[in-house]
Structure 1
Amino acid sequence: MAIRLIDRRQLRQTPWKNGAGLTLELAIAPATAGLDNFEWRISSAQVAGSGDFSCFAGIDRSLALLAGAGLRLQRTQVEPLLVTTQAPVVAFAGEQTIHAELLDGPITDLNIMTRRTDWTHRLQQLHLLGRQRLNSTADVLFIYCHSGGPLHCNLSSGEQYPLMPGQGLLLEDQANLPALELQASQYVSAYLAWLNRVTSWPQTQAPH
């Protein structure tokens, strides 16, 4: 199993596929992949103005709000999606034609993308004060500390990883990831992403 600590302050920025902005690439598979041939990708972007989303055919996307008031995602002949502090996570197909409108000033987002033929994913917000055991059968598990903290990730093997805001923990390369405990002595807002190969079984389990 590979374990990687990710700090957004140490990451390189890459252009959006449509060239309209810049993105921090938190993780990508394969490691040498580009925007046209990745299996999955985790990134964060600042959106400073309204505009069209890049087209990612065959990709499933989830978007979470990290900072700002939110976005309205206008979709052709479909109800718009709202990304706000009250509803911070949305999911949609990457090939959809989407025009994003800022609700009240710039925002920062967290973006999970998986190639539909090979991977599935789920993104969830977690509020924590105290302890919570997290069992996962995901092929890849991503834990991101959004605010508060520190968020302590304690693996059953005894390894401990404290996360501060802007830091994440990526666990991959093993179908049955070890059970871990999340611990916070101060209030934490975090995001959890489970990524599974399409052929994987059993599917991921939510925290309990």
Structure 2
Amino acid sequence: MEAWIQRIFLIAALSPLSLLAQTPSAPLITPDITREQIDEDVLDSENWLLGVRGGVLSIEDFGSSGLLAAQLSYQINESFYLSAEYAMAKAGRTSFEDLSGAAPLLTDSEREWRYYGAHIGYTLLPGEVFFGRDYAMNSGLSLFVGGGNVDFAGDNVFALHFGSQFRLYTTDWLAVELTFSDYVFETTILARNKTTHNLALALGVALYF
């Protein structure tokens, strides 16, 4: 009797396995995906870059004026670069001069603002900018810090220069740059020692060679 009971339980346990073995395997589904060809521009291997840009410089106490700057850079590697820069602007009149009607504080030649110096930069966010679904350009956001000299109001003083730069590569040798920076230096123009922050925003182009 026990042998028959064992046979019944064994048949019941093996029945689902036999049904699975007789079930035909499902067909392999192959996705119908069309592969697209992507042409990616490769940047030139040149390490030198020459850039020119124009924008606005806010000279503290003297209002805003046009800014013209030139920059020569050497790309150390994919992340770091060294730059030498020369910038020029012309200061306007102070609010004291406009309101009091007093004699000008500076002559025309003393209102000429000049900066020359160097800085080191680090590309923080390399990436791409997309224009629609089918077109993209390489880009990079960098931070930089450095220093140099400012000639202004008859003085030549040290200036700290730092800021950020966004670069958009339109071709493998040409880039568009948007630069925001601050020139920090001390002046005694208004009869007291004062640390000034001079903010600049400029747009330009850069050429690899």
TM bin, normalised by shorter chain, reads: under 0.3
Of structures 1 and 2, the one with the larger relative CO (CA 8 A, separation 6+) is: 1
Structure of greater Rg: 2
Structure that is richer in helix per residue: 2
